[in-house]
Amino acid sequence: MSIPVKAAKLLSQYSFQLPETKGRLLVTEYQFNVPLDYTAPTDKQLRLFARGVDRTEIPLVPDDRPRPSKPWLTYLTGGPGFGCDLPENLPWTNWMLCLDQRGFGLSNTLTTQTIQSVSTDPKVQAEYLSKFRADNSVRDCEAIRQCLMEGLPEERRKWTIMGQSYGGFMATTYLSFYPEGLREAFILGGLPPLRDGPEDTYRRLYARLRTANATYHTLHPHDASHLHQILTYLLSHPIPTLPPTRFLSLGLLLGFHGGPSRLHSLLTRFTLDLTTFGHPTSRTVDEILESALGIESGVAYALLHEPLYCALGHGTPSSWTADRLRHSSSPSDEFHDFQPPTSLSDLSTRQSRGKLPALFTAEQIFPLHLSSSPALAPLLPAAEILASKTDWPALYNLDQLGKNEVPVYAAVYLDDLYVDCGLSLETARGIKGCRVAMGNGLLHNAVRARVEECLGWVWRLREEEGGVVQ
């Protein structure tokens, strides 16, 4: 059932032209107040930040008539845990609203410090953090839409949303509970699994990750020896902030355009440091930590990533699923190879059996990621409470999606390492009228790395009314 949402309170707005665009981009920065908890709307408030971007036009013939209001396109960025990019760095800019979702970017940012300022009690922290999932972020969007569209005719009060990755998960939540606010929805590599709990998702993604590891070592066969050398060093000269588990999270790069080259560069730098200095430089360690999830600057990602899959309200906890799957007791288990070597003898045994020293992981979050990070370790007790939580509210309404009337255009990447294409197509079949463009060649960051091709997929669906109609 949808919780009623009232218009957000507009606190301030400030407009300026970007000089580097010769006045062609007009940016308006907004600040809003919204409730932390929409079931108690008069209690604690959050301050949200958004940027509106418009491409100004210089007419051939001067025209003093007022410009008609344009329909907003609201961009829902990926994550969870990261804010929108600066307007000048965005690939499309035409009457677009870039909202930093609650807890991310400039919107009531979640950090260890800000969470501890709420309470030092892990139970209170966990309850507070539970308010930062997609359901409330969508209510924020709806509250802001009502604020910005106030006074317009009803049909002109609707807006278009475009969600990338986690933003696509949010778009599906929006379609589930507040479709009356939407004109249309574009989803780029972000049709979520309509399952309760992360297990099905991670079983599929681990299988994809195994293939990605094999592909990488085919491309860079010498990196197996580099990986062995690095793990030998980390096991014999432990770096508290960079245990093997965190280092192996560099596999996150395998799912991005340009990522394998970046991974190879980091492995090369580490081994060159060992050859030259006998140890990795601080710069190398810092770059690896930032590339291996970067959770110190994206606290919400570490704390709320697995719970976003507890999506149907059936009482399934997240239970550190990614970690549990890889810690199976049988060496023959399909996920066992994702365990890092625990000792030099373990590493030697793997080598003697002709195995890779270890398999890279990717977006999977493990308890050790938090315990090994000075910035995040204080939040591990709250994370444990979140992992055992069974009363997560539903993020999707399957009945509403099945009778959806909002035009939906989705791009599904068959080679996506983070959003399983099989589960995405299953979801598309559950959204009435969803049109899908799918194919090889685009990876998870296509909206940044290959924006024209990525957006071309969904624009053509919209223009031609084609695609795979569900």
CA 194 and chain centroid, separation: 17
Look up 444 and say whether it is catalytic. yes
Q: Where are the beta strands (DSSP E) in 171-288?
A: 182-188
Cβ(191)–Cβ(172) below 8 Å = yes
Query: 187 phi and psi, to 5 degrees?
Result: -125, 120
d(CA 138, CA 71): 18
460 CB contacts (<8 Å, ≥6 apart)?
437, 466
Q: Annotate 87-130 with DSSP letters as a single string.
A: GGG-S--SSEEEEE-TTSTTSS---HHHHHHH-S-HHHHHHHHG
d(CA 28, CA 257): 32
> Of residues 165, 249, 372, 373, which has the active-site annotation?
165
If you search the block for the tokens 């609650």, which residue do you land on?
102
- Tell me the pairing of strands 96-100 and 73-76: parallel
Look up 332 and say whether it is catalytic. no
If you search the block for the tokens 């957006």, which residue do you land on?
455
d(CA 67, CA 402): 38
156: helix, strand or coil: helix
How close are the terminal C-alpha atoms of the chain, in Å? 25
Look up 369 and say whether it is catalytic. no
If you search the block for the tokens 């996920």, which residue do you land on?
335
> Of residues 372, 416, 420, 424, which has the active-site annotation?
416
Cβ(163)–Cβ(170) below 8 Å = yes
Of 244, 252, 227, the residue nearest 302 (C-alpha): 252
Counting DSSP H helices and E strands in the chain, the numbers are: 18, 10
Of 209, 195, 298, 310, the residue nearest 252 (C-alpha): 209
What token pair was written down for 426?
A: 């299953």
What token pair was written down for 184?
A: 């249309």
> Of residues 226, 228, 369, 444, which has the active-site annotation?
444
What token pair was written down for 183?
A: 């004109």
243: helix, strand or coil: coil
Catalytic site positions: 165, 416, 444
